[in-house]
Chains A and B, each alone.
Chain A
Amino acid sequence: MPNTFEGTDFITIRDKTREELEIVMDKARQMEQYRNVGTDSARGHLMGTLFFEPSTRTRISFQAAMKRLGGDTVGFPSPEGSSVQKGETLADTLRTVSQYVDILVLRHPSEGSAKLAAELLDIPVMNGGDGSANHPTQTLLDLYTIRKELGKIDGKTITLAGDLRYSRTTRSLARALTRFDVELILNSPEQLKMKEDLLVELEEKGLSPKETNDLESSTAEADLIYATRIQKERFPDISEYKKVAHAYEIDKDLLEKNGEPLLLHPLPRVNEINTDVDDMDNTVFFNQAGNGVPVRMALISLLLDLPGR
């Protein structure tokens, strides 16, 4: 089968079919064998990692993925020290770095920045998070984790909890879940409800989520909870953040009383998940973060059409 990913970009889940999402997940499963020992399929390839916002998991797992594939990475972990500090535009930075690398991952605070990068550059661009709009590679690893832990995605009831307004991870994941046969529950405080445009889009795709702020019932009904941090940095007004900063907490007692659903979180967590859940079998958020490596190895392999497909 021809590799339709070759030379393309990975910017948003919006233009991805279920089949395409499954191709990446299948490829990630193949990559598990190289996750710890590595391979040399990307030897000689260089990936640019341009992170204009802080990142631990996305940046390091992208770097680990490229290195496990036998390739290498160059880039910066924050704009400090780059020419952006001298007033260079994002476009000029992108056009310059693309001269040095074969593939690029971009994280930037402006929504739509990754799409602009894809338009400007001839090399494949992967979106490592653009403002509060998209985080499509996080979604790939989220879907991969659900499939790995529960055997399948279809037929599951999934609760997205926390900040559904500014969270790009839940925004991308909700979009992806429209490609599957799931029940979706949205649990958030009133101020952090999912944006109307996405709710409309979900409805159009036939996914009618149930909105609630009752954590007990949305835990009891769910096969898995996807919890998110209330993101201080996304609030236009800090006083609004303070009103909801401690809006919810998932702890061992809540999970045990409500059927112990699988608990995922894109991390970092602050106070929305109590550490007393960490030794429970159903809390998989560190494994989830680990799955970022085979998933990103898979994506890089597909976009660069590396040998061994």
Chain B
Amino acid sequence: MTPDKQKMKITRIENGTVIDHINPGSALKVFGILGLDEDEESSITIAIRVNSGKMSEKDLLKIEDKFLTPKESAMIALISPRATINIIRSFEVDEKHPVELPEKLTGIFDCDNPNCITNQDREPVEPQFEVAEKEELSVRCLYCDNLMDEGQVTHQLIQES
């Protein structure tokens, strides 16, 4: 199959978002944490382990008429720190930027230590984390110091979405 024919497999979108350079095998996780499902009215294209110049393989997600919030962008950065966001308007790339992992992650997911103050009923405090390790993701709760790895974070993000 020629490269041109490969490209044709992924259709263009008129307006929406292309999340590119997702870690190979992670597109379905991104799909999950964005709260998407098969009942979406928008057209969605998922590409898993396609050839990439930048990475040897990558995943890709195109979502028609969807624009990401900063929180959604941070969630993607957690599980795929090299992903890029392309905002498409009238079939053209209007904006392109890498996802960015904020220094502090506030209110995105809960601490999995049940005894953490952020898990106590009615206390006015949001869970807050710092990134302890970027490559092999781990985050540290800024209240109880509890460390959570990528699996624990992703599991929760998908559960909650």
Contact = CB atoms under 8 A, between A and B. Distances in A.
Contacts, number: 56
Contact of B145 (A90, A109, A120, A133): A133
Contacts of B142: 112, 115
A115 to B, nearest CB: 5
A116 B116 contact: no
Q: Which of B117, B122, B125, B147 gathers the greatest number of chain A CB atoms within 10 Å? A: B117
Interface of A: 14, 89-91, 108-113, 115-116, 119-120, 130-133, 196-198, 200
Contacts of B124: 89, 91, 120
A82 to B, nearest CB: 16
A119 B128 CA distance: 13
B147 A111 contact: no
Given A91-B123, A133-B145, A196-B147, A113 B140 contact: no
B123 A111 contact: no
Nearest to B118: A112
A120 B125 CA distance: 10
Contact of B117 (A14, A112, A197): A112
Dominant SS among interface residues on chain B: loop
The contact size tier of chain B is 10 to 19
B153 to A, nearest CB: 15
Interface string B110-150: 00010111101011110000001000000011111111000
Contacts of B116: 110-112
Interface of B: 113, 115-118, 120, 122-125, 132, 140-147
Q: Which of B116, B140, B142, B144 gathers the greatest number of chain A CB atoms within 10 Å? A: B144
Contact of A110 (B120, B122, B140): B120
Q: Which 10 pairs, one residue from A and one from B, show the smallest C-beta to C-beta distance?
A: A112-B143, A111-B144, A112-B117, A197-B147, A110-B117, A112-B144, A113-B117, A89-B122, A116-B117, A131-B115
